[in-house]
Chains A and B, each alone.
Chain A
């Protein structure tokens, strides 16, 4: 076979012209910043406008941008593979990032740890709370006790539900998620001891079709308040609103998606934390290796109450919120039984927020309908 095309001079010229144009384009000063600004990179595992986990982080980045003095770099849909290493290196080498926020849990090990060792002048702050003293000193990890806000959602849901059946759509039966399900149920049973929470695990963080099916299935069983722990609560909130039931939000405020049925929600408050962490990096302060906090530290917050929340529910929730904010309330306070009848926290034992045992949670409390395995 001979070549079907021959390169004519005209084609060659056209090609070089195109090449020249591309070079010119690359030379333009896109997104240039003033020399003094420090560059801060944010990496998201999903779309930044997902009404959920990633949007919460993007709102934090937006707050930093508004502050001024920082050049904010963002990348979305970066998988937890070698791709995130390349993204971090590119932010550091091409854009001079001095501080990087890889915001997904799976970015930490091996990816971020590896890069933190390689670039020891750059600060790495990861969302997930995983740092241990074996990890590099220029790395850090932060997380929030969002189960406090879930507990408050539970109280509101317990008062507002008419059927006494709540629904929880969860991604995976891992400690973080179980803690939210349990806190939500404990809160609801504080309001009404007969309430049950039916839990459905979808198996992954972003499964919109399964999440919609689960919501519909729960509603068909008589559930009249749903909440969730998945990356994007969007379809759950929309389905609940369409079917005329109530919903408690997660990650960010979803009241726009369900103006009638939105009760309240457990939200991250990265808008407060990120400017704080970035300023401390700008000032050259020592990196905080492990940052954790709940309502008291302002790392999490709750959504404003929706129209269906009665005065009694507001009052009780506000009361507990004040105690949690003051740091004088314990959610996981014995005796607590699991849903198989065994005692998981003995009477007289208080498991405060910082208790390491809570991070190994492997049970569902009494009142939760469903199983882990």
Chain B
């Protein structure tokens, strides 16, 4: 099973987070932050669970439906940010009201990196434990690999699909909440910059291993960050970053094909 609609869950997560913050102007920052995280995770989970439900009950391919749901999510997001949830003061860039400086997540002491990094690492470790160290995770892997085999051994495939999609959506939704609570302080079109799509590349390069996501994500982030210096020092166009990412992608694909077929790429006996 491959779901690639994280972008939709991310923007709706960010929207839900800022919407819930609007309703609690006088609560303690920690309460607001927890409420934002929970709201974002519910919104993201519900969105991707839709794709899971479509797949289980209607037989719709979840890869395609989750991708198409991104466009709907962005349309819903724009509709609400430019309408119902708009801060009347945000004239030329429609946004939700600011969540307030006190409710921001801030940066990790001694660095200028915001707490999103910690959220990401913890999420990766938890996902690893869930997928590789629990019975539930084993069931998920079987159902994801071969539905027929999973049914044959009596696994509750429908529930596994829905829960897996829900967890994936919750993670993306949480990423949206972090963007709002650590960077922007409000939800607006700046949330729609393709982080969900970058996530697809990271997951692929990490070969779907949650622990490998940590170094791969940092590496891809580093390449992205190098784009500025490549432009300024070497006069290269911005697309250089895409070329570098593409080279990594091709290297992985090629090595996959050639692995074991070339004399120096033979697996050595243990």
Query: Which chain A residues have a beta carbon within 8 Å of chain B's beta carbons?
Result: 2, 4, 6, 30-31, 47, 73-83, 86-87, 89-91, 94-95, 105-106, 110, 128, 172-176, 203-204, 359-360, 373
CB contact under 8 A between A86 and B225, given known A81-B193, A172-B94, A176-B92: yes
* A75 / chain B contacts, CB cutoff of 8 Å: 227-228, 231-232, 238
Give Cα A4–Cα B270 distance, bound, in whole angstroms: 9
Chain B residues near A47 (CB-CB < 8 A): 238
Which A residue's beta carbon lies closest to that of B237?
A: A76
Of the stretches B45-53, B168-176, B182-190, B201-209, the one at the interface is B182-190
Q: How far is the CA of A152 from the CA of B83 in the complex (A)?
A: 32
Set of chain B residues within 8 Å of A172, measured between Cβ atoms: 82, 94
Chain B residues with CB under 8 A of A80: 189-190, 193
Question: Given contacts A75-B228, A81-B193, A373-B83, is CB(A110)–CB(B238) below 8 Å?
Answer: no
Tell whether B59 is near chain A: CB-to-CB under 8 Å: no
Q: Which of A76, A94, A128, A360 contacts B229 (CB 8 A)?
A: A94
Contact B193 A79 (CB under 8 A): yes
* Interface residue range, chain B: 20 to 34
Identify the closest chain A residue to B188 (Cβ): A106
In contact, B91 and A359 (Cβ under 8 angstroms): yes
Q: What is the minimal beta-carbon distance from B79 to any residue of chain A, in angstroms? A: 10
Contacts of B114 in A (CB 8 A): 82
Inter-chain contact B267/A174, CB cutoff 8 Å? no
In the complex, per-residue mask of B216-239: 1 if CB is within 8 Å of any chain A CB, else 0: 000000001101110111110110
Pick the 4 closest A-B CB pairs, nearest first.
A77-B238, A80-B190, A79-B193, A30-B233
Closest approach, in angstroms, between the C-beta of B116 and any C-beta of chain A? 9
Flag if A79 contacts B232 (CB, 8 Å).
Answer: no
- Smallest beta-carbon distance B179→chain A, Å: 8
Instruction: List chain B residues, Cβ under 8 A from A86.
Output: 225, 228
Do A110 and B184 touch across chains, with their CB atoms under 8 A apart? yes
> Is B268 on the interface with A (CB-CB < 8 A)?
yes
Contact in complex: A4, B267 (CB < 8 Å): yes
In the assembled complex, the Cα of A12 lies from the Cα of B91 at a distance in Å of 58
B-chain residues with CB within 8 Å of residue A176 when the two chains form the complex: 92
With A31-B235, A76-B238, A172-B82 already in contact, the answer to whether A106 and B189 are too (CB < 8 A) is: yes
CA distance A163 to B68 in the complex (A): 40
Closest CB in chain A relative to B66 CB, distance in Å: 22
**Contacts A74-B232, A173-B82, A204-B189 known; 15 new A-B pairs at CB < 8 A:** A4-B267, A4-B268, A30-B233, A75-B227, A77-B227, A80-B189, A81-B183, A81-B190, A89-B112, A91-B232, A106-B93, A174-B91, A175-B91, A175-B92, A360-B91
Closest Cβ of chain A to B61, distance in Å, is 24
B235 pairs with A90, CB closer than 8 A: no
Complex Cα distance, B114 from A121, in Å, reads 24
Alpha-carbon distance between A47 and B239 when the two chains are bound, in angstroms: 10
Flag whether B78 is at the interface (Cβ < 8 A).
Answer: yes
CB distance from B29 to the nearest CB of A (A): 17
- Complex Cα gap A79–B224 (Å): 12
Chain A residue at smallest Cβ distance from B242: A77
Residue of B nearest to A26 (CB): B233
Q: CA–CA, A173 to B224, complex, Å?
A: 32
Q: Cα distance A154–B228 when bound, in Å?
A: 40
- A selection of 20 A-B contacts at a CB cut-off of 8 Å is A4-B267, A4-B268, A6-B268, A31-B235, A47-B238, A75-B231, A75-B232, A75-B238, A79-B193, A81-B179, A81-B183, A81-B184, A83-B224, A89-B112, A90-B229, A110-B185, A173-B82, A174-B93, A203-B78, A360-B91
Contact: B238 with A128, CB < 8 Å? Answer: no
- Check A128/B92 contact, CB under 8 A, given A75-B228, A79-B193, A172-B82: yes
Say how far B171's CB is from chain A's closest CB, in angstroms.
19
- Closest-by-CB residue of B relative to A79 is B193
Q: Which residues of B contact A30 (CB under 8 A)?
A: 233-234
Determine the distance from Cα of A173 to Cα of B270 in the docked complex, in whole angstroms: 66
Within the complex, the shortest CB–CB distance from B264 to chain A, in Å, comes to 9
A6 to B237, CA, bound (A): 38
Q: Which residue of chain A has its CB nearest to the CB of B195?
A: A81
Q: What B residues does A360 contact at CB under 8 A?
A: 91
Partner of B94, one of A74, A82, A174: A174
CB of A98, distance to nearest CB on chain B (Å) = 15
CB–CB B238/A31 < 8 A: no
Cα A89 to Cα B92 in complex, Å, equals 26
Residues in B neighbouring A105, C-beta threshold 8 A: 92-93
